Amino acid sequence: MQEDSWKTQFLLIGALSGALVGAATAYLMIRTAEENKSGPPQITTGDALKTGLNIIGIVRGIAALGGGK
């Protein structure tokens, strides 16, 4: 049973970290839009694609930390 407890702990920490980063990102986007008085942010397909690829790279880098080498 203890063998699986570290896995559960990692999943919970990862999920909470992701939620906090997502909420902080949304807050910053809202604040920037309000400062510019531009209304809801307009995200282009290109911007979304670039961001998605960057996120995949970050996730791969974090996953590589668990390799131990």
Handedness of CA 56, 62, 66, 69 (dihedral sign): positive
The pTM assigned to this predicted structure is 0.72
How many domains are contained in the chain? 1
- Name the one residue in this structure whose structure tokens are 């910053």: 28
Q: What is the reported pLDDT for 66?
A: 80
CA 49 from chain center: how many Å? Answer: 14
* Cα–Cα distance measured from residue 55 to residue 65, given in angstroms and rounded to the nearest whole number: 16
Domain of 51? 2-65
Residue 1 pLDDT greater than 60, yes or no: no
Query: Residues near 10 by Cβ (< 8 Å), separated by ≥ 6?
Result: none
Per-residue pLDDT tens digits for 2-19: 778 899 999 999 999 999
Per-residue pLDDT tens digits for 9-67: 999 999 999 999 999 999 999 999 999 888 888 889 999 999 999 999 999 998 898 88
